[in-house]
Amino acid sequence: MAETSKGWIEWGKSIGQGIATTIILALIPGGVVTYLAHIQSVWTVPVMEGLGAALMCAVLLLTIRAGMHLPPSRVRPNSKNIESCVRSWLDNYRVGVKNDPSPESYFRFRITLDNNLMMTVVRMRTEYKDYVQIIADLGVRGDNKKQVLELFNDDEIAQILWDIKVELLRA
């Protein structure tokens, strides 16, 4: 708790110092221009124009520096770049990906997960051409298949399948 309040105090001090420095740096040229205007010097207008040019340059430099710290813009998926987007997403998760082209699809990737389960990500050329489909085999395998299925009645299995479909649609 003490370190949190100490951090806030340090932050407040740095903000206060920044504000004080800005005020001092603004008062000095303002005072010079005010004095020159008071004595009706011919230098009043050229000094004001020079300060205006300096202010414009400072704003430009600050804008450039702020722009350099912005994160790069993200690629927005569309029908032209979705294949490369899906491939980069899969590469980020470091799963085994095999390109498996077919004539009825724009692209098809076979994915092997860490537990050796297989999935397919495909964009078809048929009626669902605006969608990327994820196809996974959710079947029960192995010797104890019958034992696992006997634990549930037909209504529970239907509810499980419904829940899986809903969660996949949410994802």
Q: 45 and 113 in one domain? A: no
Q: 95 and 46 in one domain? A: no
pTM here is 0.49
Q: 64 and 11 in one domain? A: yes
In this predicted structure, what is the pLDDT of residue 4? 63
In this predicted structure, what is the pLDDT of residue 65? 87
List residues bridging with 123 in a β-sheet.
107
In this predicted structure, what is the pLDDT of residue 171? 67
Residue 73 lies in a domain: no
Task: Name residues of the chain where pLDDT drops below 50.
Answer: 1
In this predicted structure, what is the pLDDT of residue 141? 67
Q: Which two tokens stand for residue 19?
A: 């504000």
Provide the domain count of the chain: 2
Q: 161 and 94 in one domain? A: yes
With CA atoms as reference, report the closest residue to 80 among 107, 53, 52. 107
